[in-house]
Amino acid sequence: MEEKAFFNLSYGVFVLGANLDGKINACITNTCMQVANDPTRIAIAAINTNLTCEMIKKSGTFSLSVLDKDTTFDTIKHFGYQSGRNVDKFADFAYELDANKNPYIKKQICSLLTCKIISSTDLGTHSLFIAEVQDAKVMSDKAPITYADYQKDIKPKTKVQTDKKIIGWRCKICGYELNESNLPSDFVCPICGHPADDFEPIYAD
């Protein structure tokens, strides 16, 4: 199977917001599609080990912000490269709460969906959620970014220090570690499916 074939699937980039018993959190996702109309339903997939996934499984609701063309790497890094288990992502980030009290960010979004989960399926690495859209709002007239825009124009290239010994590679998206000094350019993370250029080197001390 050619893993690179999956890179030709098209996606958007979203902020998935959660609230469990008053604690708010959010993460970046690239998986959302509308799968039914009347009632309107969407499908999203979340990595099982993510705090946001755990929270929405328990609360049964989430917000989904569609990121627009002005989105900066700082925003994606803030929500997508660190976990709410270690940091309060909303401590210094402007947000509001939707009708279910799930947070959404106030800048760089063009649409906002307020959603209630109606089914979830454990797929191993991820859970697939089908949700009913309770409300939808256009937040700006800017175009949405695609996952391809993010990979090509927003994400900075990983810098490798050539004077240090590399003993492994870590996926910046999900934390998976490959304990080998060489990372093949066509390597794909077995947990989150992100490509080799989402890996950072692990150096010997």
> Candidates 41-49, 57-65, 108-116, 128-136 — which segment interacts with ligand FMN by CB under 6 A?
41-49
Q: Does 34 bind ligand FMN (CB under 6 A)?
A: no
**46 neighbors 130 (Cβ within 8 angstroms):** no
Q: Does 56 bind ligand FMN (CB under 6 A)?
A: no
Site for ligand FMN (CB under 6 A): which residue of 20, 113, 145, 174? 174
Q: Which is nearer to ligand FMN, 29 or 108 (CB)?
A: 29
> Candidates 48-56, 129-137, 158-166, 179-187 — which segment interacts with ligand FMN by CB under 6 A?
48-56
Q: Does 113 bind ligand FMN (CB under 6 A)?
A: no
CB of 36 to ligand FMN, least distance (A): 20
If we measure between CA atoms, which residue out of 181, 199, 172, 179 comes closest to residue 76?
Answer: 172
Site for ligand FMN (CB under 6 A): which residue of 27, 66, 115, 171? 27
From residue 73 to residue 92, what is the string marking binding to ligand FMN with x (rule CB under 6 A)?
Answer: ---x---xxxxxx-------
Q: Does 150 bind ligand FMN (CB under 6 A)?
A: yes
Q: Which two tokens stand for residue 104?
A: 């959404």
Bridge partners of residue 166, in order along the sequence: 203
> Candidates 44-52, 58-66, 93-101, 108-116 — which segment interacts with ligand FMN by CB under 6 A?
44-52
Site for ligand FMN (CB under 6 A): which residue of 17, 19, 24, 29? 29
In the complex, which residues of this chain contact ligand FMN (CB under 6 A)?
Answer: 13, 25, 27-31, 45-47, 50-53, 76, 80-85, 150, 173-174
